[in-house]
Amino acid sequence: MTRAGIVTVVGRPNAGKSTLLNRLVGEKLAITSPKPQSTRKRIVGILTRDDAQLVVHDTPGLLHPRYALQKAMRSEALAALEDADVIAYLVDGSRGPVEPLQAVARLEAPPRAPVVTVINKADLLAPEARLQLAEANPSALFVSATTGDGMPALVDRLVSLLPESPFLYDAEDVSTQHLRFFVEELVRETALEQLEDEVPYSIACEVEEFREDRDPVYIRVVLFVERESQKHIVIGREGERIRQIGMVARTKVENLLGQRVYLDLWVKVLDNWRRNERSLKRFGFVLPEEPSS
Ligand SMILES: Nc1nc2c(ncn2[C@@H]2O[C@H](COP(=O)(O)OP(=O)(O)OP(=O)(O)O)[C@@H](O)[C@H]2O)c(=O)[nH]1
Ligand SMILES: [Mg+2]
């Protein structure tokens, strides 16, 4: 009998969760960034081998939310924890001792699914630091999501904890999400690379038109910012910044589609969208239900 199920990857912002998802699946699905809080929504990647299928859910980093978007991000991570058959709790090993998942996620009770503690960024660890972490966390696995070190052992451990089940998706599938979503994410990733401070965090991307019947494929993406001043920054002097973002993002989108692409980027203001429930819903975020009392 084969094994199959959901492996949810959780951890603090910047632990390397999205890099790990891409490494496991062998495709660049999730955007990654040295800046924290790059992932806002769950990303699904599928890894199929002869005896098992791992449906890997990458999640937004666990943090204490300060505004509505962050509440939606936390809520998404907690929902993914609920959905998990196995939890891969990813920790940045270069940041000191491992804190318990229950504390980091502020969970009232331990999660239902078994938890595998995975110490990432092992490539950055001096031998003594690694030894100390290993002694304090005897069942943890060491990996490097960037070099791929430790991946086979990690996959074996995750598979051993999955339930016996037929495959949930076709063996060729790599994700369950639409191309549009990945295009939006690639544009946002490029904005994260090229803009500083609050500006990239104020950006939400939305594909407005996607014409696959054209060559090059025509894709119009709107970058929503929160204020007029941010719009000026994103566009740049004589449109230089948005042109740069467009050029880099186009190459990424062409790699994704395997086709030539005309990427038409627009910048619009949606006042304070990160704090506005209606705007968040428009972008597909789900806000947690507030307790009624
Ligand atoms: N040296 C090293 N860097 C890594 C490793 N894994 C990830 N990184 C880097 O850590 C940074 C964060 O990686 P992400 O994969 O975006 O982290 P994340 O946990 O998804 O972050 P959020 O989505 O913001 O919560 C990036 O600059 C990665 O290149 C690793 O194994 N070794
Ligand atoms: Mg991420």
**Pocket mutation for ligand 1, best pick of 12, 33, 73, 119 (most atoms within 8 Å of C-beta):** 33
Tell me what the mean pLDDT of segment 258-277 comes to. Answer: 98
Q: What is the DSSP string of 192-257?
A: HHH--TTGGGG-EEEEEEEETTSSSEEEEEEEEESSHHHHHHHH-GGGHHHHHHHHHHHHHHHHHH
Residue extents of the structural domains in the chain: 3-161, 179-282
**What DSSP character marks residue 280?**
H
189 CA to centre of ligand 2 in angstroms: 11
> Atom 6 of ligand 1 has which residue's CA nearest to it?
16
- Percent of the residues in the chain that have a pLDDT greater than 90, as a whole number: 98
Whether residue 38 is predicted with pLDDT greater than 70 in this model: the reply is yes
Look at ligand 1, atom 27, and give the residue with the nearest C-alpha: 34
Looking at residue 289, its pLDDT comes to: 83
Kindly report, residue by residue over 170-216, the tens digit of the pLDDT.
999 999 999 999 999 999 999 999 999 999 999 999 999 999 999 99
32 CA: nearest ligand 1 atom: 16
For 3-161, which CATH superfamily applies?
P-loop containing nucleotide triphosphate hydrolases (3.40.50.300)
Q: Percent of the chain scored above 70 by pLDDT?
A: 99
Classify domain 179-282 by CATH number: 3.30.300.20
pLDDT digit string (tens) for 204-254? 999 999 999 999 999 999 999 999 999 999 999 999 999 999 999 999 999
CB 77 within 8 A of CB 26: no
